[in-house]
Amino acid sequence: MATERIQTIKRHLAGSQASGTQNNGPEKCIPKNRHTVLKWNGWGYKDSKFYVDDKTRKICFVGDRYPIGNQVLPLFKSWVETTLGVDLDVRHHSQPEISDKDLPDPIINEDFMTELNTTHISFTTDGQDRLFRAHGHTMKEIFILRESRFDRIPDLVVWPVCHEEVVKMVNMAYRHDVVIIPFGGGTSVSGALECPADERRMIVSLDTSQMNKIIWVDKENLLAHIEAGIIGEDLDKKLAEYGLCTGHEPDSYEFSSLGGWVATRASGMKKNVYGNIEDMVVHIKMVTSLGVLEKNCNVPRISCGPDIHHFILGSEGTLGVITEVTLKVHPIPECKKYGSVIFPSFEPGVKCLREITRQRLKPASIRLMDNEQFVFGQALKPEAASLVTTLMDRVKKFYVTKVKGFDVQKMCVATLLFEGTKEDVEALEKKIYNIALKFGGISAGEENGLRGYMLTFVIAYIRDLGLDYGVVAESFETSVPWNRVIDLCRNVKDRIRREVENHGIRLPPLITCRVTQTYDAGACVYFYFAFNYSGVPDPVHCYEEIESAARDEIIATGGSISHHHGVGKVRKRWLEKTISSVGLDMLRAIKQEVDPKNNFANGNLMIP
């Protein structure tokens, strides 16, 4: 025990004294020049995508990063054609990669650059690096990349390697009146990374990706102090060397950063066991224009007036740069098991999830998909490995539909993930499946649960395929009390259908939802919405108007502005109604005090 403690202290001191070095960081999934590995105009890795074979018109997923990779999806073609009216003979090609000469010229603050050149901080004005950090992943931003141009992009990208270099950068920006927009993983779906078009000062994208070290691990208190630029997948790989994990797995886990999680109040798929990011954080260090904001101790709880962590959590880059975070960490569970349950319809599934929560049973993840999403998931099944597999699938379908009488147009599925000791997992499984039986549920096996969990990471790639064939698609989420979950899902779907008709969209849209996180008082609901924009002159504007109407309906039904995506610029119009005019004035007062020159002028949160 004493030896471990000494080693912890040594790691802490080494991290503090040599925080500019890279030798104790993990092997990174994403390189410094991200556009060499990631798509410049879509989601994820360049070598991973849904692909339509030119000859057979069959759809497959190429690449070997995911279990679905390099396999034909025999049912997906029919689903795409039938559900979205897609003609696979008509492809909408993206524009070629935008060349540097077609990008806005950088605005250069000469005094700032003179001082920057006296430091050892890495920087570039390369056009592709600037463009990559000019956007997140809203449908509008991706559509612009494919067909248009951004009016404004960062003028400079910098890569600090430690907290001290961020302090230098922010002090320089303050002195020379330069704007800083922090950039973590770039996975924002709220427009948070877009540069304000009317900003005439020099804009610096401060990329935290090189701040990717675990500074120290304290196994006795189960804490880890970590630089905020580390990507989620890299973080868990490095913690695994200590037999530990964070347990935080958002859908963007492969690409999003620790600092981004804090800045947006993120939530992960396994929050039932490990909590949301605000439950995991013990200490945060943030560099502001006036200095460093942090508490003086790493303690589990402190009563010291309003919690300054809650000024930082959800601040979306408007107050400063998050540089280091102390997180609670956990031993890697000895047992991990997937499961699934099918229900005759969505409503009994919701009631089952409510009862599981009421009894305070906590599978690591439990998510309920509606019928449309269930059918979509079936369409993504790869070709059967053998005749036996095909026959077994037919037997299962016969049992569910003919013997049990489930209607294939109403049935839905819940996917489960259990983590813990073998004994705890077995006991929890038994209790949950017994509850499911009371609501008409039938166990659908471990394979379906595993496949459902895996699809979470590949579903984002489908939007790129859709855009190739004239379909726009996006997801949005909310949180809502239990007694309004069913009404909210129904009302939002109905509102979208009416808006689609009012906007003259000829073909029926895809509207689907799922319950993704559960709480004592309510749940998070995700909606997926897609439509074929054939004949629609401005599909981006059309989509934005329909989603705005859907958000109005969400709030009218008792839902929230957002559960974990944040506000950014996309949801600014609902912020005052959400937190009251007094609440908004409080946020603005903090902004004015902490950032008097508005150096963090990304325009998020209705905060100038």
Q: Catalytic positions, please?
A: 526
Q: What is the 3-state secondary structure (H, E, C) of 127-143?
A: HHHHHHCCCCCCHHHHH
Beta partners for residue 365, in sequence order: 417
- In angstroms, the CA 191 to CA 137 distance is 8
- In angstroms, the CA 511 to CA 531 distance is 9
Q: At residue 451, what is the residue type?
A: R
- In angstroms, the CA 197 to CA 177 distance is 17
Beta partners for residue 231, in sequence order: 257
Q: Where are the beta strands (DSSP E) in 212-268?
A: 214-218, 223-227, 244-245
Pair type for strands 203-207 and 179-183 = parallel
Helix (H, G, I), strand (E, B) or coil at 44: coil
What are the φ and ψ backbone dihedral angles of 282, each rounded to 5 degrees?
A: -110, -30
Placement of tokens 């979950």 in the chain: 485
**Contact criterion met (CB below 8 Å) for 576 and 584:** yes
- In angstroms, the CA 155 to CA 205 distance is 8
Element spanning 493, H or E: helix 485-502
**Angle CA(398)–CA(404)–CA(408) in degrees, nearest 5?**
65
**Angle CA(441)–CA(337)–CA(434) in degrees, nearest 5?**
30
First to last CA, the chain: 51
In terms of Cα–Cα distance, which of 167, 288, 177 is closest to 594? 288
